Structure 1
């Protein structure tokens, strides 16, 4: 079954001290064109993230956004109060309050908020290497978002499959019309040949052998039987390929080129106005197919 190349998938995890959301969007592209925006703590995981996406998303212009909200790295560290500096700030604030006659009720709180009064303890190597969100959690969320994106693509693909097969069926109907009018076309050509033969056979310069060779060449040039058979075979192959389980967008594009080649040859060889009109309609349906295949994975 076909899959669309466009889609959206998201996954979210809310922890006690953080919130992590992963969004993946995909648009049309001939290959995998990946753009990633990560929080700083995941910068060294970008290569692994790219590997996961490349393994699970074959084609498309893919945008990944990881949004993290939480404390500074989400990790608590020990802190201490610089007693000497606190006393210095408190004394200065007290003298300033006396000078202007202000109340002293908030002096301690203000002194605590002064620069370098509260000092963070030194971080251990283990703390420095610790992620605010475990990598396993990030990886699980990433796979969930990719799964949701692929589900979206599959749903869109069902609608595209129905639409494309409508165009394929229309080409089959038009080809059946060509097949119906082909005997009429051939009889008209034969009648024209008979008329011309009667006119030129009486000529003294008439060469029977050369005339027969030219007629054989002419009739073969106008014969579209092989093109009709090849076209119906291409349509069958196209239909079988549509329902294969793996992504088939590129293969379907190649088959559609072969379908177009046979339609064009029928049009150039038919030499008949009615069949030419049917060929034009087949080309219109084929263009609709090609347009939709641009969005197929």
Structure 2
């Protein structure tokens, strides 16, 4: 710290003259002089600037390293959450895949009983019944949606493990949109309580994925 004595003396003399001119009582105190900001200034030795700059650089580097470490921890947390969501989606797809053929068998039996009841006889036109089942099988077919959904899961995982040359967040957002599209189609073709519930569970997990993807750059 450096005190400019000559400047302080000049301020003190000026204050005394002002007091006398205004006929004010009392004398000039040290506190009065120190109110002038340029009386006392920080020391600026030959190495002071270098020391301050080096300290500042070290602090900046430390803060940057801490930020990188925090992002890595957050990234691993997000990755683990994504993997858990993807596993849950795959599990629901498995439920749907297992139920889909059973649904057609159940519907075939239901139609047979309905036709038999209407005809009031035991004989059923098996050929016509087969055509009806084939029509329903085509109408309710979700095989393509299931295949595409699983490919979306793999694409999501591949994007997470990628080299980051493009915007990961933007690509993941697109994949999530495609997942949601397939889940909607599966739900609309369900006509079955088990598949409908699984499709709803798919959409709930997809929504959680979407919320987390918003945190990815």
Q: What is aligned with 1:160?
A: 78
- The residue that corresponds to 1:242 in the other structure is 160
Structure 1 residue 138 displacement after superposition: 5.2
CA 1:138/1:251 → structure 2, altered by over 3 Å: closer, same or farther?
farther
2-structure distance, mates of 1:232, 1:87: 85
- Equivalenced residues, count: 191
How far off is 1:158 after superposition? 1.0
Shift of 1:197: 6.6
Instruction: State how far apart, in whole Å, the 2-side matches of 1:114 and 1:288 are.
Output: 62
Q: What is the CA distance between 1:216 and its match in structure 2?
A: 5.8
Alignment-derived partner of residue 213 in structure 2? 293
Question: Residues 77-111 of structure 1: CA distance to partner in whole angstroms, max 9, x if unpaired?
Answer: x957269958967x98xxxxxxx9x9xxxx9x95x
1:191 partnered with 2:109? yes
Alignment of 1:171 with 2:96, yes or no, is no
Choose between structure 1 and 2: higher strand proportion: 1
Partner of 1:81: 6
Give 1:295 shift: 2.1
Cα distance per residue 1:123-146 (max 9 Å; x no partner):
xxxxxxx99954x87566545423
**Larger helix fraction of residues:** 2
TM-score with structure 2 setting the length: 0.65
Distance in 2 between residues matched to 1:87 and 1:264, nearest whole Å: 84
Matching residue of 2:142: 224
TM-score computed with the length of structure 1 as normaliser: 0.50
The structure whose RCO (Cα within 8 Å, separation 6+) is larger is 1
Q: Residues 114 and 222 (structure 1 numbering): CA distance in 2 closer, same or farther, change over 3 Å?
A: closer
The equivalent of 1:263 in structure 2 is 183
Offset at residue 188 of structure 1 (A): 2.2
- Taking structure 1 as reference, are residues 138 and 225 closer, same or farther at Cα in structure 2, changes over 3 Å only? same
- Which structure 1 residue ranges, 5 or more long, are not aligned? 1-70, 93-99, 121-129, 201-207
The residue that corresponds to 1:203 in the other structure is none
1:1-297 matches, within 5 Å, as 81=6, 85=10, 113=33, 134=53, 141-194=59-112, 218-246=136-164, 248-297=168-217
Structure 2 gaps of 5+ residues are: 18-24, 41-48, 120-126
